[in-house]
Amino acid sequence: MLAKRIIPCLDVKDGRTVKGVNFKELRDAGDPVELGALYAEQLADELCFLDISATLEERKTFASLVKDIARNVNIPFTVGGGISEVSQVGRLLEAGADKITVNSAAVSNPILVEDMANEFGSQCVVVAIDTKYKDGQWYVYTHGGTKATPILTIDWAKQVHDLGAGEILLTSMNHDGTKSGFALDITRTISEIINIPVIASGGAGTMKHFKEVFTEGKADAALAASIFHFKEMEIGDLKNYLREGGIPIRS
């Protein structure tokens, strides 16, 4: 079993880190540059920065903020939000990002995933899938979770895999911010049908939840926000717990 990764996520709006529940009721969680530096110091495996209002506001991700965060971290750094053109990818990589994540634009134009992979390599292409369980099925949502689509999450995961995505960031909208545990069923299903890493997101509340998503959910990485931002859990303590539980984890 490959080592599992712990990834703090910085959801940024108007230059500040925010966090809500089920993608709503956002509250301030601090300065993204300071938080990014803190998580790097705490030995997070990677960092994820999502400009969550960029698509809704029809603008591009703040390259200047990406530069500020990149200068203060020494761990792999994924950036997303409002990315709809291959040219934007190059600018953000130059600004210091290691990987780029796309969501809404990829749903509208799936070839964007293929173009990004061809231009920059699959290793830097992360497709974020916001998914919601409704009427007995998991569906894809876009535009920060505000727009429903008729696309089944499993079908979309297969498609982006075939288009060249290097990873999938899977967020359960039903579980987001609830601290009730990850969506183990859909995470496990997607992890079993594709052969690229799946990052589980949405619902982390206890250390046990992380162990469950790595074992029962078969995720390759787990992403969390509020429990780290509001100091409910330290990354080092979480890693020690997982190691003691037999989960291979990076130092």
Catalytic residue numbers? 11, 130
* β-pair type (198-201, 99-102): unpaired
Backbone angles phi, psi at 134, to 5 degrees: -150, 130
Asked whether 128 and 157 are in contact (CB, 8 A), the reply is: no
User: How many C-beta neighbours within 10 Å does residue 32 have?
Assistant: 24
The string of DSSP codes covering 211-239 is HHHHHTS--SEEEE-HHHHTTSS-HHHHH
Helix axes 111-120, 153-163, angle to 10 degrees: 30
